[in-house]
Amino acid sequence: MARPRSFDPDDVLEIARQVFWQKGFQAASLDEITAASGIAKPSLYAAFGDKHALFLRVLDRYHDGILGWAERTLAQPGPAREAIRQWLTGFIPYCSGEKGQRGCLSINSATDGSLDQAALRKSIERYNRRLEELLCTRLRADRAQFKKGFDPDITAHTVMVVHAGLMALAHQTPDSKQVKAVIDQVMSLLA
């Protein structure tokens, strides 16, 4: 029994994500987001709260997207190594060439010193924990495939480090072949 919203919040989050991803949290202004989305500021504030809260929503959405895809990819049948290789390979477009310029929104946010807000840190930590958990679970499940002495926990963390490194170096837009070669080399650890 009131005037209905004239926009889909999801659409706005999508646009806000693009702006934040392109510019970073600090450099992205709400004016840019209102301009890009056509939504006036008071509506934004009413729907999402202040800039930090909006960013948190955007980041959580981003995390959910990647986690969903990781869950699907890592649940694949076949050797764990191939599932993980495929997961990492899926990032190649985002850490080389044109799309690579932006890197990973989560890592960009984590390395942004201005974002030491508790809520942000928690979101990123939860995301990383969950991702590592997925890797770990898969490696443990397929433990029999590996050599004696293989440590799934450490290996999962190593894969996390490699993933973070690829995304951090994405801003230099490396050659995708080079990225692929690194993935191949690291995958030789899963034996």
Partner DNA sequence: TCCATTATGTACTTTTAAGTACAGAACTTA
Partner DNA sequence: TAAGTTCTGTACTTAAAAGTACATAATGGA
- Interface residues with its own copies (CB under 8 A) are 21-24, 26-27, 102-103, 107-108, 110-114, 124-125, 128, 151, 154-155, 157-158, 160-169, 171-172, 178, 181-182, 185-186, 188-189
SS3 67: helix
63 binds, among its own copies, DNA, none (CB under 5 to 8 A by kind): none
Q: Please, which of residues 17-76 interact with DNA by CB under 7 A?
A: 28-31, 39-43, 45-47, 50-52
Kindly tell me which of 67 and 124 has the beta carbon lying closer to its own copies: 124
Rounded Cα distance, 37 and 109, in Å: 22
User: Is the CB of 47 or the CB of 157 nearer to its own copies?
Assistant: 157
Report how far residue 61's alpha carbon sits from residue 55's, in angstroms, rounded to the nearest whole number.
Answer: 10
Is the Cβ of residue 5 or residue 126 nearer to its own copies in the bound state?
Answer: 126
Whole-angstrom CA distances from 159 to 15, 26, 44, 102 are: 31, 30, 38, 21
Element (H, E) at 122: helix 118-141
DSSP 8-state secondary structure symbol assigned to residue 4: P
Q: Which residues bind DNA (CB under 7 A)?
A: 1-7, 28-31, 39-43, 45-47, 50-52
